[in-house]
Amino acid sequence: MQLRIDENWKMSEVDGAIIGIGQSFDLSLVPDRLSEVLKQLKEKELFQGKIDESYSLTWMNDTDWVELIFIGLGDSESFTRNKFRAEIGDAFRALKKKKINILGMDIQSITGIYDDPKVISRILAETLIMSDYSFDDYKSDRKSHELKTVLLKGLSFDQDALDEGEILGKSNVYARSLTNMPANALTPTKLANMAVEYGQTCGFDVEIKDLDEIKQLNMDAFLSVSKGSSEPPKLIIMRYNGNEKSDKRLGLVGKGLTYDSGGLSIKPTASMVNMKDDMGGASAVIGAMGAIAQMGVKTNVTAVVAACENMISGHSYKPGDIISSMGGKSIFIGNTDAEGRLTLVDAVTYIQNHENVDMVLDIATLTGAAIHCLGVDASAILSNDDTFYSNVENAFKKADENQWRLPIFDEYKALIKHEQADLTNSAGSPGTITAGMFIEAFVKDIPWVHIDIAGTAFRDKQEGIFSKGGTGAGVRPLYFLAKKLSK
């Protein structure tokens, strides 16, 4: 799909159109014949231009039919960027189903409602790319229609912002595609190979460490999780050097469980079906690295993924085991389904000891408790540093993804300790907080942020910019974080 600025496109040149109308109903911004239609719709109270409102019709131009959707933009008080994204996404998908080839978009009415052409340019590009994705790769009767061109008018569009939005949209879609791949296809080895290929395409370096090298690093917690599977673990290290004049480096760690059965603390079948998405954190950091490199962000970034499966065999680690870790702390295994934090602590230790990062952020589909706490519309965050958290918070706002910071009280710190070992991997409620604090126990004296995307990484139904399945949560915030740190 090609996005093109064309301030002079006409209805006769397109076979589908999305036209934004504000609540003020300034009909001087639409062609005369359409203004008459809009007058009638308003009189009949079928379309008022309110945000979240749309109306579809088939319109006859001079030569052919045009599938047309009016979307309401509301006013400066009711307009929100996420509602705008959702409207565009829903309208785009509806028109794509009607086999549109050339889509015209006219959003002149946004003037005076949201006056930031750069932001709207980026949002439009992101939204169109993200709304164009669906996961149907394995359907034998797949009949995917490709919408070829989108013509944009009605705004002082910023080409650089459009380009940035297109890269961010594609990076998000790439992360979704990783998350959606079934576990029999996306093994740790396959994920590692795809990271290498993606790095070559986007411009960042990738190093893969195999089982023997992981053993030499004494990553015992990571290895304990992986040893029940016949698939070997892989340590994926991605490096991007955006600023040779600086020795500062941002560290990103993504949870990479390509499948999680729960291990011997086995999940019920219904809970296992979507456990291919337990590498949503890995998808986020890989997708973000692609965007960072392609946009040439002037920040040095290293990302690490400890990729493995949590399976059942005679080799599996067991509840009641006491294991070691790369960080030297002993861990009592209260539950083999609390495995993600075990892989993360070794990855966090590795990135601090071997990659010389100055701050570390880990992102993971870590706890069901995060869903009970914040649902599917916000990610949970813990941090030991207010300044670093503030940068992350602002990055989430810029990406229009919701987050909420949870507290780290002294009373909680005792919960992750164990009488037989230094720590327990199953500290109980509050589960999202204790899981994050378990990771914090391996963080040295550097700024740290933990992001739990268990609720936001996956959707059960298609709506707005989201298709059913992986959402690519975290990709765009991580990009904006790296961009902020370049200044």
Would you call 341 a catalytic residue per the annotation?
A: yes
Residue 253 host element (H or E) = strand 250-260
Query: Among 234, 341, 398, 476, which one carries the catalytic annotation?
Result: 341
Query: Token pair for residue 459?
Result: 């959707």
Q: Tell me the CB-side half-sphere exposure of residue 11, using CA atoms within 13 A.
A: 19
Query: Among 93, 239, 267, 397, which one carries the catalytic annotation?
Result: 267
CB neighbours of 158 closer than 8 A, spacing ≥ 6?
117, 118, 121, 122
Report whether 254 contacts 362 (CB < 8 A).
Answer: yes
Q: Can the peptide bond before residue 319 be classed as cis, meaning omega within 30 degrees of 0?
A: no
Report whether 357 contacts 351 (CB < 8 A).
Answer: yes
Strands (DSSP E) found in 144-233: 149-153, 205-209
- Find how far residue 355's CA is from the centre of its chain: 24
- What HEC string does 409-464 produce? CHHHHHHHCCCCCCEECCCCCCHHHHHHHHHHCCCCCCCEEEEECCCCCEECCCEC
Would you call 267 a catalytic residue per the annotation?
A: yes
Report whether 40 contacts 27 (CB < 8 A).
Answer: no
The catalytic residues are 267, 341
